[in-house]
Homo-oligomer: A and B are copies of this chain.
Amino acid sequence: MTALPSPDAAALLGAIHFDADGLVPCIAQQHDTGEVLMMAWMNRDSVIETLATGRVTYWSRSRRALWRKGETSGQVQHLRELRLDCDGDTLLALVDQHGVACHTGRRSCFYRAAREGAVVELSAPEADPKALYGA
């Protein structure tokens, strides 16, 4: 059960425009290097828990459950600041990412681009997914 919202969470929740499913996209950015690490979704409880614990918690649409980033893999995201955009429908989490953000073992999920008519990988894994998530 998620606790009551902190004053900051209550203020932020009052300004967020959640979509019809009660979700809002959240971009995670490494606070010092500026690297965009991933994008995932938050619901009301995610916002409350993220601000209460200082560790970023998303909502997993596939598992339909709170997704405490790094709970299985250890690759947690410590929150530095949770920002909101002009029309209130997207969040930007400035984080300190422990290890890698991507389930493939890469630092960032955005490692693919199209070059010469093919989708290519721009970076290699830094960690073995089997070590992060088990076999």
Contact in complex: A39, B27 (CB < 8 Å): yes
Known A-B contacts A14-B119, A117-B7; the reply to A111 vs B86 at CB < 8 A is yes
Given contacts A92-B36, A119-B14, contact A86 B114 (CB under 8 A): no
Cβ of A122 within 8 Å of any chain B Cβ, yes or no, is yes
How many copies of this chain does one complex carry?
A: 2
A19 CB, min distance to chain B CBs, angstroms = 11
Complex interface bits, A96-127 against B, C-beta within 8 A gives 1, otherwise 0: 00000011101001111111111100100000
Q: Using a Cβ–Cβ cut-off of 8 Å, how many residues does chain A contribute to the interface with B?
A: 43
Partner-B contacts on A (CB < 8 A): 7-12, 14-15, 25, 27, 29, 33-36, 38-39, 51, 81-87, 90, 92, 102-104, 106, 109-119, 122
